[in-house]
């Protein structure tokens, strides 16, 4: 099997994280941009590739570990969070990442996901949300909008979609974020914040599927559609705590600041009551000691 050998000089670059496998997503798939963002951001963490593991389930996104020159497991449908939990619990020295999709994480693996979130083991879960089942050719998924016409819902789907952010907050996740494949800078700033977080981080990444759900996130390309929206919980309580908030620093990264020191409009978030929130957001559970 694969055995990764530490580089003699210890210096890693983007190239060190690319495997020799041919990348086989459809042309134009948003997964390419996410893969490139992850591969180019990982060297800055300074974690040796032999101490990094990507665990996936089943779906288009779950091909991800093949393309990373790290350790990886292409596991069972929906079960990546469970396998990654075992790995991270027994090997706290490893950096453990889960790559999953909206079907894998929220339908087949919904139960594993919420328990991974509440256990708060040191895992980073990247949920590629294209709001469709891509690998099995375009059935509606748990995040497809009401009325979605697909081969499995020819009259339009009648189910309300999950909002993965609300779900994660409801499961008491300690870090919740949303970002999008087409905004590399934001995507990498969120990945950075997730990597720095101790505990389970859920990062939802809106991902375009040009074959079965093209342009689902197009309106988010408009300037200003993802900024300056206040994150609030269901009952109108701000998700930011009384004393802490998260905002985007001048260099684009996210920072936790004293709430009193930032104007309300600079606090990063979105309204989780909106079933199709436009905001990319991230924040730590701020009531826990660091």
Nearer to Mg ion, 69 or 150 (CB): 150
Q: Which does 102 bind (CB under 5 to 8 A by kind): ligand SF4, Mg ion, none?
A: Mg ion
Contact 85, 128 (CB under 8 A): no
Q: Which residues in 203-232 contact ligand SF4 (CB under 6 A)?
A: 209-212
Residue whose CB is nearest to Mg ion in the complex, by number: 101
Q: Which does 25 bind (CB under 5 to 8 A by kind): Mg ion, ligand SF4, none?
A: ligand SF4
**Sign of the C-alpha dihedral, residues 92, 48, 78, 193?**
positive
Q: Which of 12, 17, 25, 64 binds ligand SF4 (CB under 6 A)?
A: 25
Q: Based on the shown chain and the rule CB under 6 A, indicate whether residue 130 belongs to the binding site for ligand SF4.
A: yes
Note whether 150 binds ligand SF4 by CB under 6 A. Answer: no
* Stretch touching Mg ion by CB under 5 A, among 33-41, 124-132, 242-250, 253-261: 124-132
Nearer to ligand SF4, 58 or 83 (CB): 58
Kind and range of the H or E run holding 112: helix 110-119
Q: Which two tokens stand for residue 248?
A: 């985007």
Give the DSSP letter of residue 208.
-
Helix (H, G, I), strand (E, B) or coil at 154: coil
Cβ contacts of residue 81 below 8 Å, gap of 6+?
A: 98, 100, 105, 109, 112, 113, 115, 116, 123, 125
Mention every residue, 6+ apart, whose C-beta is less than 8 A from residue 15.
none
Binders of ligand SF4 in range 60-99 (CB under 6 A): 60
Name the residues that contact ligand SF4, by CB under 6 A.
25-26, 29, 31, 60, 130, 134-135, 209-212
């Amino acid at each position: 099997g694969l055995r990764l050998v530490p580089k003699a000089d210890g210096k890693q670059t983007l190239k060190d994280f690319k495997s020799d496998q041919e990348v086989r997503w459809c042309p134009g798939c948003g997964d390419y941009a996410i893969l490139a963002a992850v591969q180019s951001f990982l060297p800055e963490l300074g974690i040796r590739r032999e101490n990094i593991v990507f665990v996936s389930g089943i779906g288009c996104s779950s091909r991800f570990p093949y393309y990373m020159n790290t350790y990886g497991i292409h596991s069972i449908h929906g079960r990546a969070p469970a396998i990654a939990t075992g790995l991270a619990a027994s090997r706290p020295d490893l950096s453990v990442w889960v790559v999953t999709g909206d079907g894998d994480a929220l339908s087949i693996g919904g139960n594993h996901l919420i328990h991974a979130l509440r256990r708060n083991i040191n895992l980073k879960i990247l949920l590629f949300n294209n709001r469709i089942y891509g690998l099995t050719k375009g059935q509606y998924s748990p995040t497809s909008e009401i009325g979605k016409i697909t081969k499995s819902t020819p009259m339009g789907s009648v189910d309300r979609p999950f909002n993965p952010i609300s779900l994660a907050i409801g499961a008491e996740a300690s870090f919740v974020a949303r970002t999008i494949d087409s905004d590399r800078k934001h995507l990498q700033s969120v990945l950075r914040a997730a990597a720095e977080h101790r505990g389970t981080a859920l990062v939802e990444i809106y991902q375009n599927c040009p074959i079965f759900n093209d342009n689902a996130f197009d309106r988010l390309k408009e300037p200003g559609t993802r900024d300056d929206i206040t994150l609030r919980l269901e009952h109108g309580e701000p998700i930011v705590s009384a004393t802490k908030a998260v905002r985007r620093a001048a260099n684009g990264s996210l920072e936790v600041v004293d709430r009193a020191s930032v104007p309300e409009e600079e606090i990063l978030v979105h309204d989780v009551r909106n079933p199709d929130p436009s905001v990319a957001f991230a924040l730590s559970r701020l009531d826990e000691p660091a």
